Amino acid sequence: MEKKQSVLFGKDNYLWMAIGGVIILLGILLMGGGKSPDPKIFDDSVVYSARRITVAPILILLGLVVEIYGIMKKTVN
């Protein structure tokens, strides 16, 4: 008597998880940087830019939602 083993994740699941990982990586890359040319001068427009405090965290959270979707999506056999 042979049991058929079902796979935990399908091709679609891995695709969605990869997309989520790329979105998270993009958010992390957008959050990085901010080095001032002169270390004695603090430029708050570079450190507290909208890209770093708004766009990047939203992308990271969106990527996490896509990851959860990719994990929870039902596999079609």
Q: Give the position of tokens 């770093």.
A: 52
Q: Give the position of tokens 């990271």.
A: 60
pLDDT(1) > 80: no
pTM comes to: 0.82
pLDDT at 33: 77
The answer to whether 76 and 10 are in contact (CB under 8 A) is yes
CA distance 47 to 39: 13
Domains of the chain, residue spans: 11-72
pLDDT digits (tens, 9 = 90+) for 29-44: 999 877 777 888 887 8
CA distances from 72 to 20, 34, 35, 69, 75 (A): 13, 36, 39, 5, 9
What 8-state DSSP symbol labels residue 5?
P
